[in-house]
A and B are shown apart, each in its own frame.
Chain A
Amino acid sequence: MLRTVVTRLAGAAVMAVLATLVIFLIANTVPGDPVLAQLGDIAASNPATVAEWRAKWGLDLPLWEQYLIFLRGLAHGDLGTSIASQRPVLEDIAQYAPATVELASIAFVLALGIGIPLGIAAAVWRDSWVDAAARVVSLIGVSSPTFWLAFIMLAIFYGGLQIAPGPGRLDPIAFPPDEVTGLFLVDTLLAGDWEGFHDAAAHLVLPSIVLAAATIGLITRTTRAAMLEAMGQDYVRVSRAKGMREHYTILRHVLPNALIPVVTLGGLAYANLLAGAVMTETVFSWPGLGRYTFRSAAALDFPAIMGITLVVSVTYLLVNLAVDLSYALLDPRVRR
């Protein structure tokens, strides 16, 4: 097991570096010039300013040399300096990542916590009103565009009913908690600040529902299909023939088998939630990686883009590894 983990981690590191190479090449072939984006029309019309600026950021060097510089920095744990914010990229990411991790994790828990039970219920009471309700919920989740859902939710629960707080991670007049992890839920608890915790939790409700909506739908459908398949297996009939209670048969015989495909989807979904919160973060003014990504891409901020790519690909690779390892827990046939 340990050897599998080590081998896989080494493979993941190589994959992550390869991913940066691909992004480096793509970013440098898109038409668009950071000079224009950063210096503005007037400064960009002065060749001397432009040349000086290019030399400062190393953009005058050949592409392979630029990439080597990036790699050298990477080896020392340095992702370079963001052109836009003029700060180390690593610092930028460390500042924005916790907000996204918090949002995505809550959305993930919601997606599993709603999707799996709903899928189980839909399969067990197939073709009943429960199944129909689950189908409607998942259809709405999968087919509503995020920005639309986000605005509708805000309009109803914040604007109309006024039972949910507005955008942002905290009340505008509240002070953020002392930073330990950057996750407000954790930090407020550590500081013993119940009011702050409540505020942070309330601000998470709408964005996490919006972010989780599509994933809830997917998890529900996958769980239902996997449950139905497992319920048709012979060992389920055998369990009934042994006189086992129906809920025991469902929970102990069917569910562990049905969870195997759900785990695959769950892993990918978590990675997607982490990397795909751009729209939700924008509507809810959430100071997370999604918005940082959007800004960096618009500014053609190469060092920032490379840094984000690396973080995202490492996330995907780690989640994938976790999924593979959890197979071994769920399915003895893949254990060695």
Chain B
Amino acid sequence: MSAPVLEVEDLRTVFLTDAGAVRAVDGVSFSIGAGETLGIVGESGSGKSVTALSLMRLLEEPARIAGGSMRFQGRDLLAMRPDELRSLRGDRMAMVFQDPMTGLNPVIRILRQLTEPMVGHGRFAAPEAKRRAIGLLGRMGITAPERSVSRFPHEFSGGMRQRVMLAMGFANDPALLIADEPTTALDVTIQAQILDLLRRLNAEFGTAILLISHDLGVIGSVCRRVAVMYAGEVVEEAATEAVLADPRHPYAWALVNAVPRIDQPLGADRRLVSIEGAPPDALNLPQGCRFAPRCPFKVERCEREHPPLAEVAPGRLARCWVTQAGAVLPKAGGAGFGGVRAPLPPAAEPLLSVRGLVKHFPLPRESLFAPRRVVHAVNGIDLDLARGETLGVVGESGCGKSTVARLVTRIHAPTEGSILFDGQEIAQASPAAIRPLRRRMQMVFQDPYASLNPRMTIGDTLAEPLVAHGLARRGAEARERVGALLDMVGLNPAWVSRFPHEFSGGQRQRISIARALALEPEMIVADEPISALDVNIQAQILNLMLDLQQRMGLTYLFIAHDLAVVRHLCDRVAVLYLGRVMESAPAEALFARPLHPYTGVLISAVPEPGRQRVLLQGEPPSTLAPPQGCPFRGRCPIAQPVCETMPPLVEAEAGRWVACHFPGGFSHAGLVA
């Protein structure tokens, strides 16, 4: 191993709050060699971002570094004066943040934002810096960089902005780049592009990379080593592949198994491994192992003594009494192997049947005589959803999946097309005619923080639909039903008088589901119900949705962008692109052998270490002016002149519908089982 760029020894960062010092980072040690890659993974609140900010010495009040040492290229970061630190930041040591939409200054041209660190650190004169900025943008995959540099950030998409942020990070050829969740806000195809870029930059420039993510797959596709953080501590450190294949700390084990893997065979039991409980209160940490209260493998010693981070195998460190004693954690969790999924009973009539659905949103006129521009959100979609089935709708942002969710529940009225719900046409039905149907179809939204009224107790939130639809009288009867609902979604019925802010994100999403269930609906439309949650909580919510479906025979329309989750949960999947269905098929078949090239590249983009991938270049075209012919042809690896005519959605094989002139014409080594 080469001389380390960064050595962190027993780093402690605290937040000085009124209630006491919160130990956000509590004794973290690691080192990164020149040109090496290290990932830090953990759930929100595990201290991974605070670690990154501590390294940059960019902590804001009330955070303080309380102890430890950090040496960068042999120099003590904690002993440096502010001006010494400043001359290091953005020069030898750069950082890329999570949200590219807010990380660029909206009123300053890209060029100046790129050149200011080059000129500010005295490495380049202005004209040279400009040439270099253009060169860097080109390397990051931005087309026409000479013109792009004089643009403002709002003229760029999220993926483009993240490329600009990366270019900014590489402005002065740093020795270390810290990337804090650089792809979390991006679509899976764009994420694949950015991760690929990071890998290449590491290889070409020899820049060491510290990548922070909640997603082990993301880390695995860039980093050779990973440190797993829990409650402010590193609990396991090893080669990424080793952790993924054989985790040696129970928390890492839970993290690995909570996520469905896109390459894993599907079992009959679709429950995921989830660990109950929540991370410990950082003000009041347990005296023994911090994970012990939630650990399925704990022994008596774990509650008593705090384990050290010690070697459990050559080159592998874990903070666990059990594995240090030589025990091996079980191979896989509930997502069992073998067996086939129980076939669905053939349904005579689909519960929901959508034909030729179109939704256009006209934009306000820009001036009195300008033509009105129109967002073509949904451009002719057919879907069938059988009773008791789960239909997954996937696609990149802007593909119209959320609009479809709002159309079938008639939150929006469609521009054209028909929507049959249980045989009843509701596409253009009046609000009065829809009202009785609302009981039978309910929605769960993405953001559990925004979708609950902060001024209503959860008891009132849950009782409201019951009373409004006359299912229960206000008072004792409603209270009893609300208690039963809370119990059903795994919450304590005694919590009825609490307010939403007293709950965690996962608990709030349970409340949202309880609210949807209150009216005993037949169909639940869930729009990205788990994407705002940590992986372990995701597993809990998915398990809950599966349980409820079995117990109550629910029908789900499940909107998501996480393909592995969709494959795991859904019976059928519809792939949307620019407001059209590209492919619709049973989940297992679709993922095993995609017929549409877009499905293929979408699956290929899922970050999973060791997989060969086909990178999808570019971004979806604008919904303001959708292209003629096949909407995907501009990015399609197998496009032909015939694709200038729109291929119809036809049944290419039994039960498999695809809109492509060359179904199955694109195959990809990593996907064929």
Contacts and interface: CB of A to CB of B under 8 A. Distances in A.
Given A3-B367, A237-B97, A333-B152, A242 B117 contact: yes
A244 B102 contact: no
A323 B105 CA distance: 22
B107 interface: yes
Interface residues of B, number: 31
A16 interface: no
A229 interface: no
A272 interface: no
B88 interface: yes
Nearest to A242: B90
B67 interface: no
Contacts of A3: 367
Nearest to A232: B60
Interface string B143-171: 00000000010100000000001001001
B108 interface: yes
Given A243-B121, A333-B154, A238 B86 contact: no
Nearest to B92: A243
Interface string B104-142: 111110000000110011000000000000000000000
A244 B105 contact: no
A320 interface: no
A21 B643 CA distance: 62
Contacts of A245: 86, 120
Interface string B383-410: 0000000000000000000000000000
Interface string A241-265: 1111100100011001100000000
Interface string B54-86: 001010000000000000000000000000001
Given A3-B367, A234-B99, A333-B154, A242 B106 contact: no
A248 B168 CA distance: 17
A148 interface: no
A242 B89 CA distance: 6
A241 B94 contact: yes
A332 B154 contact: yes
A92 to B, nearest CB: 38
Given A3-B367, A332-B154, A336-B366, A242 B105 contact: no
Shortest Cβ-Cβ A-B pairs, 4 listed: A243-B90, A242-B90, A243-B89, A234-B102
A243 B86 contact: yes
Given A3-B367, A332-B152, A235 B105 contact: yes
A240 interface: yes
Contacts of A257: 105-107
B58 A241 contact: yes
Contact of A234 (B103, B171, B366): B103
Nearest to B165: A238
Nearest to A3: B367
Nearest to A259: B107
A233 B104 CA distance: 9
B168 A7 contact: no
Interface residues of A, number: 25
Contacts of A242: 89-90, 94, 116-117, 120, 168, 171
B90 A237 contact: no
A17 to B, nearest CB: 19
A4 interface: yes
Contacts of A239: 105, 116
A238 B108 contact: no
A307 B102 CA distance: 49
Interface in A148-184: none
Interface string A308-336: 00000000000000000000001111001
Contact of A243 (B88, B97, B368): B88
Contact of B103 (A4, A235, A336): A235
Contacts of A241: 56, 58, 89-90, 94-95, 97
A253 B90 CA distance: 16
A243 B91 contact: yes
Contact of A238 (B88, B104, B152, B154): B104
A332 B111 CA distance: 14
B87 interface: yes
B431 to A, nearest CB: 36
B87 A243 contact: yes
B94 A333 contact: no
Interface of A: 3-4, 7, 233-235, 237-245, 248, 252-253, 256-257, 330-333, 336
Given A4-B367, A7-B367, A245-B86, A238 B97 contact: yes
Contacts of B121: 243
Contacts of A333: 106, 152, 154
Contacts of A4: 367
Contacts of A235: 102-106
B172 to A, nearest CB: 9
A239 B117 CA distance: 9
A330 B108 CA distance: 10
A243 B85 CA distance: 8
B116 A237 contact: no
B108 A256 contact: yes
Nearest to A248: B120
B89 A238 contact: no
A7 B121 CA distance: 47
Interface in B244-275: none
Nearest to A335: B152
Given A253-B105, A256-B108, A330-B107, A240 B58 contact: yes
Specify which of B99, B105, B108, B366 lies most central, judged by the most chain A CB atoms within 10 Å of its CB.
Answer: B105
A239 B89 CA distance: 10
9 contacts: A7-B367, A235-B102, A235-B105, A237-B103, A239-B105, A241-B58, A242-B116, A330-B107, A332-B154
A243 B57 CA distance: 11
Contacts of B97: 234, 237-238, 241
Contacts of B165: 238
Contacts of B86: 243-245
A235 B154 CA distance: 13
Contacts of A7: 367-368
Contacts of B102: 233-235
Contacts of A332: 106-107, 152, 154
A330 B90 CA distance: 27
B668 to A, nearest CB: 37
A255 to B, nearest CB: 10
Nearest to B152: A332
Given A239-B116, A242-B120, A244-B116, 7 more contacts: A7-B368, A234-B102, A238-B168, A243-B87, A256-B108, A332-B107, A332-B154
A330 B91 CA distance: 30
Specify which of A235, A240, A242, A333 lies most central, judged by the most chain B CB atoms within 10 Å of its CB.
Answer: A242
B72 to A, nearest CB: 13
Contacts of B103: 234-235, 237-238
A248 B112 CA distance: 13
A295 to B, nearest CB: 42
Nearest to A238: B103
B636 to A, nearest CB: 33
A237 B89 CA distance: 11
Interface in B408-434: none
Nearest to A230: B105
B364 to A, nearest CB: 13
A3 B90 CA distance: 43
Specify which of A243, A245, A336 lies most central, judged by the most chain B CB atoms within 10 Å of its CB.
Answer: A243
A250 to B, nearest CB: 12
Contacts of A336: 366
Contacts of B88: 243
Specify which of B90, B104, B107, B368 lies most central, judged by the most chain A CB atoms within 10 Å of its CB.
Answer: B107
A336 B86 CA distance: 38
Specify which of B56, B99, B165 lies most central, judged by the most chain A CB atoms within 10 Å of its CB.
Answer: B56
Given A7-B367, A243-B91, A331 B107 contact: yes
Contacts of A331: 106-107
Contacts of B56: 241
